[in-house]
Structure 1
């Protein structure tokens, strides 16, 4: 599927309505937005790239979370522990950084202002770091 044209006429608007997360999920399904999580030498990093769900401009978001939850093979402690239902999920909040200064954007900022959430399964990345860095 061809990438949509950048809607550069969209004015900057700082919004994180669920609508944008829902649209991002649709773009992920279509392959117009991609996401990955990696663990290298015990450092977790994420990358989300492709089309913004609002302005459809190209974004490329890299993050290294400053706090990582303990991801284990079970949930709970002691006798109450139960096996984890699936691979650990890393939640990434992304703000459009398409590189275009949309109308009304604050000085020194680019993008249309939309923020959305992507959830990534960390199973393919190998073992996640234990504890908080």
Structure 2
């Protein structure tokens, strides 16, 4: 897989987040978006390069990971990046860009605060199925 393909960092023990990752896997027409849990070695490397991410408990969309043009989007902007990446009907979500970012991020934070109550919490990050395991960047998965 091309190193420049985007990576989505997510809360690996969050039930809602894991459900979202499964949904993305199902609708990813490109079949190339990769994933890493926020507590993975891969995510720690990204965070080290982008100190503003330290302590952030949010989804992070990483474009061109490890390359000179690496960029990160967080919270609602990351979700919009995912919608743009998925394309098709998911691009309708991009209409949310008319809402100021600080308002979108407040809504994101409000949901994030209750996500474990809504979707549950795993004791450990679930192991992906063998068919998609290669798209997960974590020492645990090889």
By percentage of residues, which structure has more helix? 2
> Which structure has the larger Rg?
1
Is the TM value for this pair above 0.5?
A: no
For normalisation by structure 2, the TM-score amounts to 0.22
For normalisation by structure 1, the TM-score amounts to 0.23
